[in-house]
Amino acid sequence: MSCSDEIRAELRSRGEPINRDNLIRVGNELRMAHGPGVLGQRLAARINAQLSPVVVDSIRNIHEVTELRAVKGFTLVLVDAPVETRFSRVQARARAGDEKLITSLEDFVRYEKTECGKGEHSQQLDRVAKLADITFDNSGQSTPASFVNLIQRCSKRS
């Protein structure tokens, strides 16, 4: 499951293109209209209806974390990589809307900083990262064994 999937569904219902700028804008609009934890609330309800473990990605606001922490066994994992690695992955992905991110590493860094807003209803990636229970290095040196270890660490926390 993904917070971004909730926003994509909203964009589809509005008939708007799905791109990075619209995802950010509509995510912020949803937080303003329904409270900063709205995406976490929506996902928590869906997770609680599941019988099996669930992975949630694209958590961008500390209030989403608060809502998801109410789910039994929730563990916040920060999957991180050096900025150069993230930049090369965005270039390789070539997702619609990423064009302005792949012009240069400097532009990519500048754009990433916009995802570290200070407002209660904005994206707060830096603040979410600080709340992580576990950090996983996804710099490209990961092995199948390191993923198994991550899963074991998460399951011990449940």
pLDDT of amino acid 6: 93
Condensed to tens digits (0 to 9), the pLDDT of residues 13-33 reads 999 999 888 999 999 999 999
CB 56 within 8 A of CB 2: yes
CB 58 within 8 A of CB 2: yes
Distance CA 134, CA 77 (A): 5
Run means of pLDDT, 10 residues per run, the chain, 158 residues:
93 94 93 96 90 85 95 90 90 75 85 86 93 89 79 74
How many DSSP H helices and E strands does the chain contain? 8, 2
Which helix (DSSP H) or strand (DSSP E) does residue 151 occupy? helix 144-157
CB 71 within 8 A of CB 48: yes
Condensed to tens digits (0 to 9), the pLDDT of residues 140-154 reads 777 778 878 887 877
